[in-house]
Structure formats: C-alpha cells, structure tokens
Chain A
Amino acid sequence: QQPVQSPQAVILREGEDAVINCSSSKALYSVHWYRQKHGEAPVFLMILLKGGEQKGHDKISASFNEKKQQSSLYLTASQLSYSGTYFCGTEGGSARQLTFGSGTQLTVLP
C-alpha cells in the first residue's frame, strides 16, 4: 500500500524552511527519502530505521515515528539546489518491497 505524502507541492524562497510528511497505514520497518530532479533518476537522501531515530544530512534531516507510522523530512534554510520532487519510500508489512509515495514537488525561488 502506497504511503501518503503531504503537501503535494511547496514553493519557498531561498533560506526558508519546509517540512514534508509521509504516513503509512501499516507497520513500517524503514523509511527512505529520495530526491528527483526533472528527467533524472531519484537520488538517495537517507534511510530511517524503526526506533524513532532522527537523521541529518547537511541542512536536511528526517524523523521516523514508528508508533504513528510517520516520517517527516525537514529542509532548513533551503537552497536553490533543493528544488525537485521528494519521494518517501516505505518498507513494511509482509511484502519486503520499497513502495514510494506520490511525491512532493519542492520549488525554491531566489
């Protein structure tokens, strides 16, 4: 079952912050975050394993609430290079497969 991402789209000015949410109706083993530029392959950002850990990557961080089956991606002081579509991928349930949400389109304006 596909995770649900919100919002569908975000427009920011450089330097502003954004939060992208991902939720699932089933218990999760892990949550993956990827960024895809138009016409390119998705690029890995980070993985969060069950245990509620938070990870960081430069000014991009994420949290995983295992009990709520939710993850959030935090983009701090956004840069123009952050523009793209962000996908969360979840692994859970009986089928060990990585299922992606429909994506959040992030646009950072100068």
Chain B
Amino acid sequence: DSGVTQTPKHLITATGQRVTLRCSPRSGDLSVYWYQQSLDQGLQFLIQYYNGEERAKGNILERFSAQQFPDLHSELNLSSLELGDSALYFCASSGLRDSLNTEAFFGQGTRLTVV
C-alpha cells in the first residue's frame, strides 16, 4: 500500500459526460501529480500541484482541469468525454516542491471507460 488513495477504482460513463476523479496523497506529501495511461501505453504527465498551487502542466487537454484543496486532496475533472479518454488515470504524491529528488508514490489508479 503506497498510502495514496484514488477513488473511484472504476468508472464507466457515456460520451459527452463529465466525471471527477479524486486523489488523497500520502500523509504529509504536499505535491500531487496526475498521469494518464492509455491501453498498454506509457505514463503521460498531465499536471502537478504543490500545496494548492499549480506547479507544472503537461499535455493536459482544455477539457480537463484539476485542483488541490486545502486538505491537500486533489481532483481531476474530465468533461465532454470522448471515447479516446478511456484510460487508467494515476495520481502520485511526493514530499518536495521544487525537487523531484525523492520517490513518487502512485495510487492504484482509476480506470475510466467511456462508452
């Protein structure tokens, strides 16, 4: 158990809909990262938050948005869903802000299926 909790584990929804994925980082970790992993593909970096502020942005679509709340949990919002958005979405957390010289702990992921 990495200590990172993601909910829900599975999500099936229709095209055009909006969903919210939730992540609770490890106790004490201030940084949260979101990654998208399509079927048998690599991990695509979406966005990073540190202590409530956006720190880095990857190839995140405009239809996607995220935030980190004062209690440090984070939510990834996906809207106007398309079939191609079906993927495993991982959240990871680490303790440092400006350095990644430490391990990132991954949650078990949310498997999103858009039908």
The CA-CA distance from A37 to B46 in the complex, in Å, is: 22
- Which residues of B sit under 8 angstroms from A91, Cβ to Cβ? 100
Contact indicator B98/A103 (Cβ below 8 Å): no
Contact indicator A30/B101 (Cβ below 8 Å): yes
Interface class of chain A by DSSP: strand
- Which residues of B sit under 8 angstroms from A103, Cβ to Cβ? 41-42
B18 on the interface (CB 8 Å rule)? no
Cβ-Cβ contact count across A and B, 8 Å cutoff: 62
The CA-CA distance from A29 to B101 in the complex, in Å, is: 8
- Which residues of A sit under 8 angstroms from B104, Cβ to Cβ? 32, 44, 89, 98
What is the interface residue range for chain A against chain B? 20 to 34
B25 on the interface (CB 8 Å rule)? no
The CA-CA distance from A91 to B31 in the complex, in Å, is: 15
Query: Nearest Cβ distance between residue A89 and chain B, in whole angstroms?
Result: 8
Query: Nearest Cβ distance between residue B42 and chain A, in whole angstroms?
Result: 4
- Which residues of A sit under 8 angstroms from B83, Cβ to Cβ? none
B108 on the interface (CB 8 Å rule)? yes
Q: Scan residues 1-45 of chain A and give those whose CB is less than 8 A from a CB of chain B.
A: 2, 29-30, 32, 34, 40-44
Knowing that A29-B99, A40-B108, A97-B45 touch, tell me 14 more A-B residue pairs with CB under 8 angstroms: A30-B100, A32-B103, A41-B90, A41-B109, A43-B106, A44-B103, A47-B103, A49-B101, A89-B43, A96-B55, A96-B56, A97-B55, A100-B35, A103-B42
- Residue numbers of A with Cβ under 8 A of B are 2, 29-30, 32, 34, 40-44, 47, 49, 87, 89, 91, 95-103
